[in-house]
Structure 1
Amino acid sequence: MKRQILTVATAVALMFGASLPIADAATYSNGTATATLTVSLTLQANCSIAASPLNFGTNGVLATAINQQTNVAVTCTNTTPYNVGLDAGTVTGSSVTSRLMAGTATGNTATTVGFQLYQDSGHTTVWGNTQGTNTVAGTGTGAAQSIAVYGQVPAQSTPKPDTYQTTVTATVYF
């Protein structure tokens, strides 16, 4: 009987708009609040460089010039001016104006083959490492930019058979 009275009382209370104390009404608010969040990024001038090998192939007597081409890839932030330089290489006695490759066989490292690196396919502008004089200038776009390197082994006295090589460092100045 007590249960029936409680159920009837609840039904009557709901019919007349009364509410039962189920939970605190403040937790069911329909309001909102906002805040702002500052997001930032500082980009500074920056560049990277990658170089592909230059291989003159396999040859015999160096009676005629051997020409080959490779590329360096420069990636700089958009609008960043840059210069790309190529040094003389690692062989003793090599210079930007007279580059050398040395033999790799034991006892043959003093034997050399001359070669040159150029900025143009006509082999007229030697590529060096002095900014504003013999480097290649450009402006970054934010994407990789490919720059051709033209190599030539001119006709010369042919040394003994061996693999001749050097390591040339490509530098991007920005």
Structure 2
Amino acid sequence: MVPVLPATAVTKTASVGFSATLVAACTAGTTTNGTVSFGTLNFGTVSFLSRPVSVAGQQNAGAIQIRCNNGTAWRVGLGGGNSGNTAARYLVGGPSAQRITYNLYTNAAYTTVWDNATGVAGIGNGQTVYLPVYGRIPAQATPGVGSYSDTVQVTVTW
């Protein structure tokens, strides 16, 4: 009879590496059916434009919602809308495509036009931020009654 020798355990060790790469990233607005929106900055119902009309964007109503990961530098620009010119925006409507001049600003003092070149910038911290857009219709001749509107492109870069 052949003696049975005890089995000897063999242990081998090795290491395996794991890694992850985080890239700068931002999200903006609310997405519904594939369309990103920031809501509507509504100047309200006005009878005459003999005085300026001012409004500040709020969450889901004209404020720009942005969230960037920690340490990511971002910038938000606003396009010229109907006019194509950020210095001379206008709403179009009424009975015969009339215009109401207005503009969008970065501050409540209405001193800095929110353009697409400088825009508003910051550094992300991973939290959602709402950037209020300040809109003002200056005093002007009141055009025909009706609804007036504009659509402005929002550009987020990081």
Q: Does the 8 Å CA contact 1:48/1:75 hold for their aligned counterparts?
A: yes
Residue 68 (structure 2) aligned to one of 49, 53, 76: 76
Residue 108 (structure 1) aligned to one of 96, 99, 104: 96
Q: Does the 8 Å CA contact 1:94/1:100 hold for their aligned counterparts?
A: no
Shift of 1:35: 7.4
Structure 2 SS opposite 1:172: strand
Structure 1 SS opposite 2:132: strand
For residues 54-73 of structure 1, what are the structure 2 equivalents within 5 Å? Answer: 54-70=41-57, 71-73=63-65
Percent of aligned pairs with the same amino acid: 36
> Are 1:48 and 2:27 counterparts?
yes
- What number of residue pairs does the alignment pair up? 140
> Which AA in structure 2 matches 1:95?
N
* Aligned mates of 2:147, 2:14 — CA distance in 1: 68
Residue 88 (structure 1) aligned to one of 80, 84, 106: 80
Shift of 1:108: 2.1
Uncovered stretches (5+) of structure 1, i.e. residues with no partner: 1-25, 27-31
> Are 1:123 and 2:121 counterparts?
no
Give the structure 1 partner of residue 3 of structure 2.
none
Shift of 1:112: 0.7
Q: Using structure 1 for the length normalisation, give the TM-score.
A: 0.72
Give the structure 2 partner of residue 173 of structure 1.
157
Give the structure 1 partner of residue 34 of structure 2.
none
Q: Using structure 2 for the length normalisation, give the TM-score.
A: 0.78
> Which AA in structure 2 matches 1:124?
T
Residue 140 (structure 2) aligned to one of 152, 156, 168: 156
- Where do 4+ consecutive residues of structure 1 move more than 3 Å? 32-40
Residue 97 (structure 1) aligned to one of 73, 84, 87: 87
Q: Whose helix fraction is larger, Structure 1's or Structure 2's?
A: 1
* Aligned mates of 1:153, 1:36 — CA distance in 2: 66
Shift of 1:173: 1.1
Shift of 1:33: 8.8
TM-align CA RMSD: 2.3
